[in-house]
Structures are given as C-alpha cells and as structure tokens.
Amino acid sequence: MTELSFRPRTSEIPTNPGVYRFIDDSGRVLYVGKAKNLRVRLTSYFGTFEKLHERTQRMLQSASDVKWTI
C-alpha cells in the first residue's frame, strides 16, 4: 500500500462542483479534472491504490499536492 503524504482529510474537501489539480514538487500541473462533487471524486483517488489504473498510480506517485477550485 502506498501512503500519499499530500492526501487531504475527507472533511476538508468540499462537496461542491469544481476543478481539481494534481501538482508535482516543482509546481507543474500533472492533471486537471472536474467534478460535480469534489469530495466524491477526489476520495476515489485515495482508495485502494492497487485497484487504480497504472497511469493513475504513476500520476499519484509523482504528485506532491492536490488543489481545487469551486
């Protein structure tokens, strides 16, 4: 199991619609996504790591932060 140090607490993530960005150590945006419910969408990235697509696993391993905009 991979532990992601930047994982926000579920209660910190809003349930509003919005856009989210995964960012690496140098500030480069790795991925931009949109969601009707940010909490539901973002928590899906932080579930069972092994069940995620390989490409998503690599993105999460490269990321150092996730930010969202409502």
Q: Do the beta carbons of residue 21 and residue 66 sit within 8 Å? A: yes
In this model, does residue 52 exceed pLDDT 50? yes
pLDDT-derived band at 2 (thresholds 50, 70, 90) equals low
Record the tokens describing residue 17, joined without a space: 């619609």
Residue 23 has φ and ψ, to the nearest 5°, of -125, 140
Distances (CA, A) of 58 to 13, 31, 52, 68, 70: 22, 12, 10, 20, 26
pLDDT-derived band at 1 (thresholds 50, 70, 90) equals very low
Residue 47 has a pLDDT of 84
**Mean pLDDT, the chain, integer:** 93
Q: Do the beta carbons of residue 20 and residue 41 sit within 8 Å? A: yes
The pTM assigned to this predicted structure is: 0.90
Record the tokens describing residue 47, joined without a space: 């579930």
